[in-house]
Amino acid sequence: MKAVLTAENLRVRAGDLLLASLDELSVGPGECAAIVGESGSGKTTALNAMLGLTDGLQVSGRIVVNGTDVVTADERTLSRMRGSVIALVSQSPQASLNPTMRLGTLLKRVLARHGLRGAEARERTEEALRSVLLDPGLLRRYPHQVSGGQAQRFAIAMAVALRADVILADEPTSALDVTVQAAVLDLLARLRDEHGIALVFVSHDLAVVSGIADHVVVMRQGEVVEAGPAAGVLQSPSAAYTRELLDAVPAIGE
């Protein structure tokens, strides 16, 4: 199975300070790679590098998404790819949505930016809303009029409507309550399985990661301390830091 996203010898620096490094990462269709670690470990910086959003930083190595090296691509190419090839689902989607526009207008503009209008845009919109279990009536609301879970599903719907090959999920459940967390995780897993979307999932919560990841990369202070299949990393970790993260997961009844 050919990888949709690969990273090789990735280094992101601010001057002499190493912010994030990934020697090797490969994600194929229908796979989920999780990048975990505490705040400041470099997880989100690595994710931003995959989107080409590293202005002012020095980036070396390769990040190839569907045959295009994001590190060397020009801004026009990156702009075309963002959303339609590789999409971001952020930690706080309501903060990234224009508060003066209804959700329907936002989605219409996103589709138009990628050349989708008229009947095709309506068809994509209906398909996307069905896939994330959202009522079409939600499109008449403004971002502040929907819940955190609805906003998160709307952000995922935009990626589905554009038929992105890769979804980058940056702490997508950390601001949600436990019940909504489970619903969003189930949705991402279903989209991965049914649509073959490659998923890169960033989190500090190993309990969340254990239910969705095929591969796990553990980062600390910008560097990878352990990586491998999820079962091996989470059940038999080799790094002391990974064991500390696992020990920090609360267990009911203890």
Residue type, 220: R
146 is a domain residue? yes
Helix (H, G, I), strand (E, B) or coil at 210: helix
| Residue 222 backbone dihedrals phi, psi, to 5 degrees | 85, -5
**Distance from C-alpha of 117 to C-alpha of 112, rounded to nearest angstrom:** 6
Position 174 pLDDT exceeds 80: no
94 is a domain residue? yes
253 is a domain residue? no
Question: Per the structure block, which two tokens stand in for 140?
Answer: 């008449």
CATH of the domain at 63: 3.40.50.300
88, 163, 85: which is closest to 124 by C-alpha? 163
CA distances, 250 to each of 182, 193, 208, 244, 247 (Å) = 17, 29, 12, 12, 8
| Residue 24 backbone dihedrals phi, psi, to 5 degrees | -160, 130
Position 91 pLDDT exceeds 90: no
252 is a domain residue? no
DSSP sequence for 189-246:
HHHHHHH--EEEEEES-HHHHHTT-SEEEEEETTEEEEEEEHHHHHHS--SHHHHHHH
Q: How many domains does the chain contain in total?
A: 1
CA count, 13 A, side-chain hemisphere, 23? 9
Residue type, 222: G
134 is a domain residue? yes
Question: Which domain does 46 fall in, by range?
Answer: 5-247
pLDDT (tens digit per residue) in 30-63 = 999 999 999 899 999 999 999 999 999 999 999 9
DSSP sequence for 107-142:
HHHHHHHTT--HHHHHHHHHHHHHHTT--GGGGGS-
Helix (H, G, I), strand (E, B) or coil at 57: coil
Helix (H, G, I), strand (E, B) or coil at 248: coil
Report whether 237 contacts 226 (CB < 8 A).
Answer: yes
Q: What radius of gyration, in Å, describes the C-alpha atoms of the chain?
A: 18
99 is a domain residue? yes
pLDDT (tens digit per residue) in 184-242 = 888 889 889 988 999 999 998 888 888 899 999 999 999 999 999 999 999 999 999 99
Give the alpha-carbon dihedral of 84, 85, 89, 93, to 10 degrees.
-20
25 is a domain residue? yes
Mean pLDDT, range 169-194, rounded to an integer: 84
**Distance from C-alpha of 240 to C-alpha of 237, rounded to nearest angstrom:** 8
Helix (H) or strand (E) holding 76: helix 75-81
70 is a domain residue? yes
pLDDT of residue 251: 64
